Amino acid sequence: MCGIVGLFLKTPTHRGELGRLTADMIHEVRDRGRDSAGVATFGSGNDATTRITVLADGPRPDWDETATALEEVLSAEVLVRPLHDHAVFETTGDGRAARRWLIDNMVDIEVLSYGSQIELYKSVGDPDLLATRYGLAARTGTHAVAHTRMATESAVTANGSHPFSTGSDTCLVHNGSLSNHNQLRLRLEQQGESFQTLNDSEVAAGYVSWRLGSGDSLAQALQRALTDLDGFYTLAIGTVDGFAILRDPISCKPAVVAETDDWVAMSSEYRAIARLPGVVDAEVWEPEPARVYTWSLAA
Amino acid sequence: MSTAIDLAEVSLRQLNQVLHDADSGGFDVLNPRGAHAVACGITTDLTVEVAGSVGYYCAGMHQAGTVVVNGNSGPGLAENIMSGTVRTTGNASMSAAATGCGGLVVIDGDAGARCGISMKGVDIVVGGSIGHMGAFMAQAGNLVVLGDAGADLGDSIYEAILYVRGEVESLGSDCVEKEMRPENLAAVGHLLEAADMTASPADFRRYGSERRLYSFHVDDIDTELAEGPGGTR
């Protein structure tokens, strides 16, 4: 099972409502996975600042002390904004270096995401709780990717929730199971990627980040993923200005897409799309197996 | 005179209970919004019109009467249908009419992957195209496709008969093209009429089992002896 939703707002019309619309979509697929949930939103930041979202699932460190330590490492100012068990660091320093340092030195926290536009929240329990706890309905932006998880492959923990993000402003949600993730994880670690869980989907996220970092376009990265990922998957991916969908050649895992002039919405089920504004005029279709679909704000 | 039931006002369980309690009549289901299991298990001669798209398993286990979805249908439309008619005016997702034992399922648009998987006697007419692995392990019944068929059509098929007007991307294991005989032309004509679709039966090609993957029951020995393995029936 597991539920996926993605909402990509092509025009500014609904960008003020991104969070509310995404929360409504998550609500409709919560039956597909009540173990945990997560959501990434894009597009409310500014290009000069990197935001690093972290999770403290157990004991919470002193956030201000952590920010001060990070300032020394990055030689740049770091602001911190705690939110329940999450915190968002903001800095003009190097986001990748900040992620690396936090992973290596702060054993109690997981780095969920970094980048100028992404913010990512995840927690165990009812997906509706995630939306209310982290104030999703009030968030604005250009696109969002979210997931409700029925765990099959690794532990039910907050950090085992999707979306997974290992590279700047890139995240991935997955419905399915990969069968070659252990081998692929080793290969990616040799390429300098780092992982924080034993989850198969984090490896898929790392794979996409690695390909994007190697110069592939999003479409090229996913075309290559069809060869390198083995297993069942419906994937939805958000990047700083893009959105993509990929299904494996067998396509057992469901996916439906609706598109209007203003937005593209994707979900495991149509009911998550059925209430979006203007849906009666949307073109509704199922993504074909082994075909890469991408949308870009830049185009 | 139809009775309107609004899923924005009543629960899915209430809707299906009303349909199960009714002996006859017409019902209009409003605001389905992708709900699952709409109009499942109908056993009496009702006419149910659904105004909009539905989710999983619409009209599952259908036994009598007619269900029309004026929109798209999610996975498992009319799964295990026994008799009666189910129609969707839009597209159907994966596994449409899966394991259907009888009756008629009509899809005006396209059907997704594994349409008619393990069909056991149902007739399926698709106005558009079907996805990959259509009629996988199909055992009995007819599948008529006015458009194209995706990869691996009829993989591991038993005795169902498949008619496709357009291109077949590839045939699955043990599925072969067979001659269109007069009775096949008549069957396609009859099914098109039942589905209220217009096409020339002569434009269709027939596909079925080469009968090399499974062992015949002893009752079929006469066919084996007359036509040899992979007979043309």
Same-domain check for residues A62 and A186: no
Whether residue A149 is predicted with pLDDT greater than 50 in this model: the reply is: yes
Res A265: pLDDT? 98
Chosen for mutation from A5, A24, A256, A281 (greatest number of chain B CBs closer than 10 Å) is: A256
Residues 35-54 of B with CB under 8 A from A: 35-36, 52-53
Do A248 and A283 fall within a single domain? yes
Q: Provide the chain A residues 200-259 that lie in CB contact (below 8 A) with chain B.
A: 251, 254, 256
pLDDT beyond 60 at B230: no
User: What is the ipTM for the molecules in this complex?
Assistant: 0.89
Nearest-CB residue to A289 (from B52, B93, B132) = B132
User: Which pLDDT value is given to residue B226?
Assistant: 72
Residues in chain B with CB shorter than 8 Å from the CB of A271 are 33-36, 55
CATH code, domain with B151: 2.160.20.60
Number of structural domains in chain A? 2
DSSP string for A245-257? EEE-SS--S--EE
In a domain, B215, yes or no: yes
What per-residue string of b and e applies to B93-127 under the rule 16 or more CB within 10 Å gives b? Answer: bbbbbbbbbbbbbbbbbbbbbbbbbbbbbbbbbbb
> Sheet harboring B140-145: ordered strands across?
B2-6, B24-30, B45-51, B66-69, B85-88, B104-107, B120-126, B140-145, B161-164, B205-209, B175-178
Q: Per the domain annotation, does A133 fall within a domain? A: no
Residues A29 and A49 both lie in one domain: no
Domain final residue pick, A82, A116, A150: A116
Query: What total of structural domains would you count in chain B?
Result: 1
Domain that holds residue B48: 2-227
What confidence tens digit (pLDDT) does each residue in A242-263 have? 999 999 999 999 999 999 999 9
Summarised one tens digit per residue, pLDDT across range A184-208 is 999 999 999 999 999 999 999 999 9
Cβ neighbours of residue A36 under 8 Å, at least 6 residues apart? A122, A123, A124, A125, A148, A149, A151, A156, A157, A158, A160, A161
Q: Is it the case that residue A1 has pLDDT exceeding 90?
A: no
Is the pLDDT at B214 greater than 80, yes or no? Answer: no
Task: With beta carbons less than 8 A apart as the criterion, state whether B58 and B77 touch.
Answer: yes
Which residues, other chains included, contact B97 with Cβ-Cβ below 8 Å and sequence gap of 6+? Answer: B77, B78, B79, B81, B86, B105, B115, B116, B119, B122, B124
Structural domain includes residue A251: yes
B85 assigned to some structural domain: yes
Give the domain extent around A82. Answer: 45-116
As beta bridge partners, residue A145 has A6, A40
What residue type is A142 in one-letter code? T
Q: What average pLDDT does the segment A235-244 reach?
A: 97
Average pLDDT, chain A: 95
User: What is the phi/psi pair of residue A231, to 5°?
Assistant: 140, -165
Whether the pLDDT of residue A146 is over 60: the answer is yes
The four Cα atoms B212, B213, B217, B222 give a dihedral, to 10 degrees, of: -10
A273 min Cα distance to partner chain B (Å): 8
Residue A132 placed within a domain: no
Is any Cβ of chain B less than 8 angstroms from the Cβ of A61?
no
Tell me whether residue A121 is in a domain: no
Whether B149 contacts chain A with CB within 8 A: no
- At B218 the pLDDT is 60
Please say if the pLDDT value at position B225 is more than 80.
no
- Read off the CATH number of the domain in which A216 is found: 3.60.20.10
d(CA B134, CA A176): 22
Same domain for A232 and A218:
yes
- The percent of residues in chain A predicted with pLDDT above 70, rounded, is 100
Within 8 A by CB and 6+ apart from B12, the residues are: B35, B36, B37, B38
Note whether A290 contacts B: Cβ–Cβ < 8 A: no
Which residues of A are catalytically annotated? 2
Instruction: Specify if B27 maps to a domain.
Output: yes
- pLDDT category at B222 given cuts 50, 70, 90 is confident
Q: Which pLDDT tens digit goes with each residue over B164-202? A: 999 999 999 999 999 999 999 999 999 999 999 999 999
Mean per-residue pLDDT of chain B: 94
Beta carbons of B34 and A271 less than 8 Å apart? yes
pLDDT reported for residue A298: 80
Whether B74 and A270 lie within 8 Å, measured CB to CB: yes
Cβ contact B72–A273 (<8 Å): no
> Do residues A208 and A100 share a domain?
no
Q: Is residue B232 part of a domain?
A: no
C-alpha–C-alpha distance, residues A22 and A31, integer Å: 16
